[in-house]
Amino acid sequence: MILHYPNGKPYKPTEQKKERKQQSLTYSNRGMTLEEDINVTNQYYLDNEIAVIHKKPTPIQIVNVDYPRRSAAVIKEAYFKQSSTTDYNGIYNGKYIDFEAKETKNNTSFPLQNFHEHQITHMKNVKNQGGICFVILSAFSSYYLLEAEHLFTFWNRQASGGRKSITKNEIDDFAHIIPTSYQARIDYLKIIDKLYF
């Protein structure tokens, strides 16, 4: 299947992304990806009536479909309708929650190139409306919750010609380690409770 960005350019996954999908992160991840762990956590929250948080679908416009038979339709070509915003949104304890999930294998810093300008703009809009906005980072063999306002500081530093990454020391200083457990694998709402409730 061929996917295209809104500007018409074809989407081509990089070799690095392909390799990342084929490798497991660490033993603590049980061979799962960050996204899968968050999805399992969100399902636990939903099943136990704790929160309603879902992964946002990426809107695509289907252009070409092959119908060898009705039960086996195959999308051959599609376009991204618009740039995506963040990965997840929902409601918890009466507050709107919106967050992005990112991971790196870098051992010393978290590259800001993992974020896009439209995502930062979206997060600023959420914060301006009183929503809870943050990033879940998988880095240095741990999961972290970094509040959006800290991400904005690092993003602005980069835009002013400064560092293009967040150092491990900065993550240790400004982010919160997220506890992991069997059912709520990445129990990020424990951090939200401490920060906002």
Summarize the annotated binding site as residue ranges. Answer: 85, 87, 100, 119
Residue list for the binding site for Mg(2+): 85, 87, 100, 119
CB count in 10 Å sphere of residue 100: 24
Which residue in 24, 33, 28 sits closest to 141, CA to CA?
28
Specify whether the CB–CB gap between 135 and 100 falls below 8 A: yes
Closest listed residue to residue 139, CA positions, set 90, 174, 163: 174
Q: What are phi and psi of 45, to 5 degrees?
A: -60, -45
- The CA-atom distances, in angstroms, between 134 and each of 1, 20, 111 are 33, 23, 16
